[in-house]
Chain A
């Protein structure tokens, strides 16, 4: 038997987190929409956590190979995602000459 059952509290968590995400992300300016996508990619690499557990259970060759690929893919998302987000955010600079004339 699969070790888990879907609890009603999981549904609550999902719904509340969805509303929280909606509230947070509505406030992000279009200026930062590309880094937002890169950042959510990086964070969605949390699938690594689930993949690690399956890979570590060492059930048989088939699950090991599938879980190994999953660990590789999610590691790419985690490491690559955070690196790219930082590379993009590093480029955003204010006008250092302070010549901006407000109209």
Chain B
């Protein structure tokens, strides 16, 4: 037994070192290799547990799981990473939930109140994280519509369902031998996960995905409490802290509270108030052709690129890099401005640009880059909308008021690659498009960027 405990202590140390190494891209890879070594040590140690009487289910599960994981990880395109992460939250939560059910099934006739409460919490959290994360993945993948699905009285239904679950949890803790109530709680938790996420729109997924990361961690920690397994408690706490911090950061970047994201159904409820602040009799936005846009770029000395979800949707990141390389080759300074909630999950834009071979030294966070916009010749907006809307600074009635934004409007010229004039996810019109120094380059971002890259400095050979 002491041997197994030593492997767990080693694993805990290696996990902590692994997470610490993620502080810098230079050390991150080596650190994660250490963490995977820790995982391997812990698994090998576990195989020597004296309770294990047969290996057939273990080996079958390990082989089957490995075979399934390979295609899901090696060949999945980087643009699909958000839904892949959501799926793995679902898988982890399901595992914890099923182990909880198995333990209850086995010991329900003879279980203490405390153990019952722990198992109840584990099963409830695991089940709602499982179905919730599945819905998140489906929304991100486009299997379900990305816009919020709402109906009247939704919040009342959800809150009553949640209260009922808490009541049941309390009841089975007092009377652990009640099988029926336990399985009702399990089913309600599965249902609640679905109800919780359907009213949330795809653009709010950075917060939701982080929240489920935290729930998944908590479920793991509770499973550790149940099985008296300390490595699971430590890992669950680390995982939970990570999800918690990320969801707080995402909420801050949208100037909203977690409750507002979960129960606000952004872009739906506010729609009515929205239409009233529509520009009355204001001029049309100026549109620009690829040729004219090229003229602007030929004169520019510095360009800052602000990417958004539109870049991921039209897979324009490779074309963008090609154009940026041409600019750089001609001595233009090129930087990328990354808003924390651009895209569908924390850090989404960074991963896509890294995939297109953009060096990470060219990527800048919002706070770093905002002071540079006023002395930049061109701000190039690629598929970003709400995160560049200046009305977040000024229009108090706007639902995005107070949200920190990229100051692209302060650049000398703004060129916006966009398919149409449709508003961003929040449903708010973007004032930026109507400014005197803003130019709209309509069309598919990838096509426009290819044409720009092809045409730039062509006259010079």
Judge whether A41 and B89 touch: CB under 8 Å.
yes
In the assembled complex, the CB of B83 is this many whole angstroms from the nearest CB of chain A, namely 12
List CB contacts (< 8 Å) of B235-261 with chain A. Answer: 235-246, 249
Taken together as a complex, chains A and B put the C-alpha atoms of A18 and B168 apart, in Å, by 28
Q: Does B220 make an interface contact (CB < 8 A)? A: yes
Q: Which residues of B contact A75 (CB under 8 A)?
A: 61-62, 64-66, 69
Q: How many residues belonging to A are interface residues under a CB distance threshold of 8 Å?
A: 92
Interface size in chain B (residues, C-beta < 8 A): 120
Q: Are A92 and B224 in contact, CB atoms less than 8 angstroms apart?
A: no
Interface mask (A63-102 → B, CB under 8 Å = 1, otherwise 0): 1101111111111111111111111111111111001110
**B346–A34 contact, CB under 8 A?**
yes
B380: CB under 8 A from chain A? no
Residue among B16, B24, B230, B239 facing the most chain A CB atoms (10 A cut-off): B239
Residue ID in chain B nearest A57 by CB atoms:
B51
- Beta-carbon contact of A49 and B229 below 8 Å: yes
Q: When the two chains form their complex, are residues B58 and A71 in contact, meaning their CB atoms are under 8 A apart?
A: yes
**B101 close to A33 (CB less than 8 A):** no
CA distance A74 to B219 in the complex (A): 13
The stretch from B39-47, B290-298, B403-411, B430-438 touching chain A is B39-47
Q: B57 within 8 Å of A by Cβ?
A: yes
Kindly list chain A residues whose C-beta atoms are within 8 Å of the C-beta of B85. Answer: 34, 37-38, 41
- The distance from the CB of B173 to the nearest CB of chain A, in whole angstroms, is 13
Partner of B328 from A67, A68, A99 at Cβ < 8 Å: A99
Distance A89 CA – B235 CA, assembled complex (angstroms): 21
Q: Does B372 belong to the interface (CB within 8 Å)?
A: yes
B188 within 8 A of partner (CB) = no
Are B99 and A89 interface neighbours, CB within 8 A? no
CB distance from A23 to the nearest CB of B (A): 9
Which listed residue, A36, A52, A60, A77, touches B47 by the CB 8 Å rule? Answer: A52
Stretch at the interface among B102-110, B135-143, B149-157, B158-166: B102-110
Q: Is the CB of A10 within 8 A of B228?
A: yes
B interface, CB within 8 angstroms of A? 8, 11, 15-16, 18-20, 22-25, 28-29, 32-33, 35-36, 39, 42-43, 46-47, 49, 51-55, 57-58, 60-62, 64-66, 68-70, 72-74, 76, 78, 81, 84-85, 88-89, 91-92, 94-96, 98-99, 101-103, 105-107, 110-112, 114-115, 118, 209-210, 213, 216-217, 220-221, 223-246, 249, 328, 333, 338, 340, 345-348, 350-351, 354-355, 357, 359-363, 365, 372
User: Which 10 residue pairs are nearest across A and B when measured between Cβ atoms?
Assistant: A75-B65, A71-B61, A21-B241, A56-B52, A33-B347, A17-B237, A34-B347, A80-B69, A33-B346, A4-B228
Residues of A within 8 A of B (CB): 1-7, 10, 13-15, 17-22, 24-60, 62-64, 66-96, 99-101, 103
What are 18 A-to-B residue pairs whose CB atoms are below 8 Å? A1-B111, A4-B227, A6-B114, A18-B241, A24-B16, A25-B245, A31-B365, A42-B32, A46-B39, A53-B46, A71-B61, A77-B69, A77-B91, A79-B69, A80-B72, A80-B88, A81-B88, A90-B29
